[in-house]
Amino acid sequence: MSQAHVKPKAAARILTVEIDGPLAILTMNRPEKRNAMCDALLDAIDAFFARPPEGVRVVILTGKAGHFCSGLDLSEHVTRDAEGTMRHSRNWHRVMDLVQFSGLPVVSAMYGAVIGGGLELAASTHVRIAEPSAIFQLPEGRRGIYVGGGASVRIGRILGSDRMCEMMLTGRKYGAEEGLALGLTHYVVGEGEAMSLARELAQKIAENAQLSNFMMIQAISRISDMSRSDGLFTESLAAAVSQTSADAQEGLRAFLEKRKPEFR
């Protein structure tokens, strides 16, 4: 395994990047802040997904020292006017969209705080794994503010608007098992087991054809935004592109020959 770091150097201290074959393990590294999000950490995540290392096929995202991400670092809060706040929020949206739609599948290994902006970040990833210590919360409403990193869309679609409204009004916390039932996580594992399963699933995903992974990431959530007829037409386009590829031909041959496919 090798170590790579995201530029600039200041950001490298708060986001470590470990390259292990086709996998990149990104670890948010602000343990004294429960890995709270600051502009520098957001910029480091942005920089990685904008220019991922060559050969990386799947990303694992996690946090250091018992927490995933405790949300926006309020101790570094900058007073902004309405326009500045809107632009700051829109930059969060841009980075979260980049995480979701860069084309790289992202697996989250979560424990401890998955709160506020940390939950918004997790919701932009594609496979989520939680340990028993995970706590899911949107406390913004109890702090006199409103979410700004995409929760209204991503988390609202997971929970439904009614449940998300209650969650924000009351500051309600959900544990790992509740999060599984609600869709905030896809897996719940034992203490200390999230990274093991994340690596196992990431390796499995990395063995897929890159084009089919790309199509799943790009098409499925967008189709959910479309009308029924537009969604069906888009599905046909995605099927046409993927099913006429060289990897599709290899997948069919491998199935008929009863062997594991060797995708590009």
The average pLDDT across 246-262 equals 84
- Shared domain for 202 and 223, answered yes or no, is no
Residue 2: band (very low, low, confident or very high) from pLDDT cuts 50, 70, 90: very low
Q: Which of 18, 54, 83, 120 is catalytic?
A: 120
Domain holding 162: CATH number?
3.90.226.10
- Shared domain for 170 and 185, answered yes or no, is yes
Contacts of 215 (CB under 8 A, 6+ apart): 238, 241, 242
pTM for this predicted structure: 0.91
E-only strand ranges, 64-141: 106-110, 113-115, 127-130, 135-137
- Shared domain for 54 and 148, answered yes or no, is yes
Domain for residue 262, yes or no? Answer: no
Domain for residue 263, yes or no? Answer: no
Q: Which of 190, 206, 222 is where one domain is finished? A: 206
- Shared domain for 217 and 130, answered yes or no, is no
Asked if 140 is an active-site residue, the reply is yes
- Shared domain for 168 and 138, answered yes or no, is yes
Report whether 146 contacts 80 (CB < 8 A): no
- Shared domain for 65 and 163, answered yes or no, is yes
CA distances from 170 to 134, 151, 174, 185, 195 (A): 19, 16, 12, 21, 32
- Shared domain for 196 and 105, answered yes or no, is yes
Contacts of 79 (CB under 8 A, 6+ apart): none
Report whether 34 contacts 112 (CB < 8 A): yes
Q: Which of 140, 193, 235, 250 is catalytic?
A: 140
Contacts of 87 (CB under 8 A, 6+ apart): none
Residue 227 has pLDDT above 70, yes or no: yes
Residue 109 has pLDDT above 50, yes or no: yes
Domain for residue 133, yes or no? Answer: yes
- Shared domain for 96 and 184, answered yes or no, is yes
Report whether 73 contacts 116 (CB < 8 A): no
- Shared domain for 144 and 37, answered yes or no, is yes
Residue 73: band (very low, low, confident or very high) from pLDDT cuts 50, 70, 90: confident
Over residues 172-200, the pLDDT tens digits come to 999 999 999 999 999 999 999 999 999 99
Domain holding 231: CATH number?
1.10.12
Domain for residue 264, yes or no? Answer: no
pLDDT given for residue 77 in this prediction:
65
Number of domains in the chain: 2
The DSSP result for 24-66, as a single string, is EEEEE--GGGTT-B-HHHHHHHHHHHHSPPTT--EEEEEESTT
Q: How many CA atoms lie within 13 A of 185 on its CB side?
A: 27
Residue 8 has pLDDT above 50, yes or no: no
pLDDT given for residue 22 in this prediction:
97
259 three-class SS: coil
Task: Quote the domain boundaries for residue 81.
Answer: 2-206
- Shared domain for 169 and 239, answered yes or no, is no
